[in-house]
Chain A
Amino acid sequence: MSMIKIRDLTKYFGDHLVLDRVNLDVARHEVVCLIGASGSGKSTLLRCINRLVEPDWGEISLDGVPVEDASFGKTGLQRRVGIVFQSYNLFPHMTVLDNITLAPRKVQRRARAEAEAMAMEVLALFGMDRFAKSYPEQLSGGQQQRVAVVRALAGDPDVLLLDEITAALDPELVGEVMEVIRGLKARGLTMVIVTHEMGFARDLADRVCFLDGGRIAEEAPPAQLFGAPEHPRTQQFLQRLLDGGRL
């Protein structure tokens, strides 16, 4: 059974149709990449999964339970679905450690010592433990984004959503973040990834979905989608990337 199940998801921003009856299934331990031009609805689709955006129509369920179900409680969904944003969105007035332990302490009501011990463990896993007492602005973009990943993992989520997490990074910093995500895939974490980085999608994804005008125009394993795209819009999109030297 699929872990995330999305049916007929529809969202308008004003009169503009952003998502048009989208269906998507994500199995446990699967990594799905969403690609497509800007404005094709990728990020909105992602944000519907953890209810940062409320859809106008359709349903999303997690292990068979609709995400708006009361059984998640007020914060249960956020605990099971972590998200990392393009611009990191770390809290600038808190140290790295406080950023990571905020949710465990205030939402899950763990003791500070316990939360910090767990955070240090995960930080060490990504080679970031020496930055625990630093403030976000003292770190490079790549380091900040790795902290944001650790923060999203602090609640031990079942699913991780990544929203163009390398888009704001200098090219030489992309690698270190991708390395972290590769490590998470190896540990079997279920992930839904929105990305403009085709290398990212080709490398990591079990399946790639190409979105166009609010619909999933084509979905296939990366080798097939990048090697022999069937849909004319996919071909067009990939050709443009090729011409731009980005593939």
Chain B
Amino acid sequence: MIPQRPESPPPPPRRRGFDWRKAFVPGLISAASILLVFGVLAWLIATNENWPRIQAQFFSLDHMMTAAPRVMRGFVINLQVWLIALACIGVWALLLAVIRSLRGPWFAPFRLMVVLYIDIFRGLPALLLVILFGFGIPALRIPGLPNSGLFWGGVAMVLCYSAYVCEIYRSGIDAVHEGQRAAAHALGLNEWQVMIYAILPQALRNVLPSLMNIVVALQKDVALLSVIGVRDSVREAQIYTASTFNYSSLVVAALLFLLATIPMARLADWITKRDRARRLQVAG
């Protein structure tokens, strides 16, 4: 029998009260299992016969406190190099990407130069470049050129990272719909104007999440400069280690890097998530 259609719609289902059990029991179980697993791990480590030696070698509070001021001073240099390199990479890579994306036949040699540049600098280890530039160029003693290893090491980092960032920018430029280019051309804009007003703003928005990953990666890779004698945090920690044979100073440097990179990584995640939400909203 077909049920009769009621005169008015049925009342909405009664809202259930807040279910404490549903809200808290899974959380409690997770917390308990985390405590259990990590507790067992901690106990295994702490009861190991080698643990006191490990602790003294890597986690000695005394050594950490003594080394901290100079390691921190070095870390300030890491941060300075990081920020300056970021700015240079952002601009230089963008210039490369724009040149690579120009379409006129007259730009062919410049496009080729960018392709070669990317092939070379993406194919070489950053460490090799840092050593080559940081030791090699000051050794030339060319008058008028800066002599500092810090400067040339930084240049090597910029050149190397720009190759990656250029490719990221370019993928963003390519992802802008062809119709945008057609529309901009149809309005009478020239090649540069099309790029600057129509394409690039959209491209940058496309690649912001990927760029954030590079920002995080660069933040720790600036430590490569320590191999050419730049007294950054890693170098300072090594100097301390060399005189005391205790590695706690390196752990201090490690903690400083984590302190800086983890919030950056969270920020990158957040930007990615926000960007995804925006896209879904537009698509819907």
Interfacial residues, chain A to chain B (CB-CB below 8 A): 50, 52, 74-75, 77-79, 82-83, 85, 87, 89-93, 102-103, 106-107, 137, 151-152, 155
Chain A residues within an 8 Å CB radius of B180:
89, 91
B131 to chain A, nearest CB (A): 42
Most buried by A among B180, B183, B193: B183
Besides A77-B188, A90-B183, 10 more A-B contacts (Cβ < 8 Å) are A74-B188, A75-B188, A75-B189, A83-B186, A91-B197, A102-B187, A103-B189, A106-B193, A107-B193, A155-B187
A107 touches B188 (CB 8 A): yes
Q: What is the chain B residue whose CB lies nearest that of A77?
A: B188
Chain B residues numbered 182-222 whose CB sits less than 8 Å from any CB in chain A: 182-190, 193, 197-198, 201-202, 205
A78 touches B186 (CB 8 A): yes
Q: What is the chain B residue whose CB lies nearest that of A104?
A: B187
A153 to chain B, nearest CB (A): 11
Most buried by B among A82, A91, A137, A155: A91
Interfacial residues, chain B to chain A (CB-CB below 8 A): 177, 179-180, 182-190, 193, 197-198, 201-202, 205, 282
A107 touches B187 (CB 8 A): yes
Q: Which secondary structure characterizes the binding site on chain B?
A: helix
Q: Which of A83, A92, A107 contacts B202 (CB 8 A)?
A: A92
A45 to chain B, nearest CB (A): 15
A89 touches B183 (CB 8 A): yes
A103 touches B182 (CB 8 A): no
A87 touches B186 (CB 8 A): no
B165 to chain A, nearest CB (A): 21
**Cα distance A137–B284 in the bound complex, in angstroms:** 10
- Known A106-B197, A137-B282; contact A89-B188, beta-carbon cutoff 8 A: no
A155 touches B202 (CB 8 A): no
B187 touches A89 (CB 8 A): no
Q: Which of A52, A82, A137 contacts B185 (CB 8 A)?
A: A52
Chain B residues within an 8 Å CB radius of A78:
185-188
- Known A75-B188, A103-B187; contact A87-B179, beta-carbon cutoff 8 A: yes
Chain B residues within an 8 Å CB radius of A77:
188
**Cα distance A137–B201 in the bound complex, in angstroms:** 16
- Known A85-B179, A106-B193, A137-B282; contact A91-B198, beta-carbon cutoff 8 A: yes
Chain B residues within an 8 Å CB radius of A52:
182, 185-186
Chain B residues within an 8 Å CB radius of A151:
187
CB pairs A–B below 8 angstroms (23 shown) = A52-B185, A74-B188, A75-B189, A77-B188, A78-B185, A78-B186, A78-B187, A79-B188, A85-B179, A89-B177, A89-B182, A91-B180, A91-B184, A92-B202, A93-B205, A102-B197, A106-B193, A106-B197, A107-B187, A107-B188, A107-B193, A155-B187, A155-B188
A101 to chain B, nearest CB (A): 11
- Known A93-B201, A93-B202; contact A74-B186, beta-carbon cutoff 8 A: no
**Cα distance A92–B184 in the bound complex, in angstroms:** 12
A85 touches B182 (CB 8 A): yes
A50 touches B197 (CB 8 A): no
Chain A residues within an 8 Å CB radius of B205:
93
Q: What is the chain B residue whose CB lies nearest that of A86?
A: B179
Q: What is the chain A residue whose CB lies nearest that of B183?
A: A89
**Cα distance A171–B186 in the bound complex, in angstroms:** 27
**Cα distance A89–B208 in the bound complex, in angstroms:** 22
Chain B residues within an 8 Å CB radius of A50:
186
Most buried by B among A79, A89, A90, A155: A89
**Cα distance A103–B194 in the bound complex, in angstroms:** 11
Chain B residues within an 8 Å CB radius of A106:
189, 193, 197
Q: What is the chain B residue whose CB lies nearest that of A103?
A: B187
